[in-house]
Amino acid sequence: MEKIFINKVSESGIVSLNLEEFYPKEEIALFDMKDYLFMGLILKEKDFREDLKNLNLSIYKDKVVAVTCSADAVIPMWAYMLAASYLQPVASEVAFGTAKEIKTMLLLKNIAQLPLDDFADKRIVIKGCGDLPVGEAAYLQATKLLRPVAKSIMYGEPCSTVPIFKKK
């Protein structure tokens, strides 16, 4: 007698969601204000304006630009505004933060585009392990978005899950 194997996971109606699919693919270029500080401490307006006029903007073309200051210096607000006014016309996006913070921001923005109707009254497993640094904020965002529509939410893999939420 031949045994027939039944894939109970595929027949369970569980929808698997891999947050790595929402990981930003855009290239991020860093614009660090520390590179424009006099003696590593002070931003001089005249020098900064001149540096921006001579800035090679092609390195920021069609990229997401993370504007930050990695030095422990007080940067006036207008300096960030001025940097944005030069970068915005060439960059695909300009945002304040480190490259890692901007990746997280873009990831959350991508997750916010989830087609929630596709998950209505479904049993959802949000995939756990992966190769990309998805991070806690993404799992929190996905749970927050899916909880109002999902029948249940689990974490892990369809064959081994941790229950997170179940509609009563």
Domain boundary assignment for the chain: 14-21+113-166, 28-91
- Asked if pLDDT for residue 142 goes beyond 80, the answer is yes
Mean pLDDT across the chain, nearest whole number? 92
Helix (H) or strand (E) holding 93: strand 93-96
With tokens 């210096």, the residue in question is 73
Number of helices (H), then strands (E), belonging to the chain: the values are 4, 7
Mean pLDDT along residues 88-107 = 97
C-alpha 155: how far from chain center: 20
Confidence at residue 133, expressed as pLDDT on a 0 to 100 scale: 87
pLDDT digits (tens, 9 = 90+) for 22-53: 999 999 999 999 999 998 889 999 999 999 99
- Asked if pLDDT for residue 10 goes beyond 60, the answer is no
Helix (H) or strand (E) holding 81: helix 77-87
Higher pLDDT, 125 or 159: 125
- Asked if pLDDT for residue 6 goes beyond 80, the answer is no
Crossing angle between the packed helical segments 99-111 and 136-146, to the nearest 10 degrees: 20
| pTM metric for this prediction | 0.83
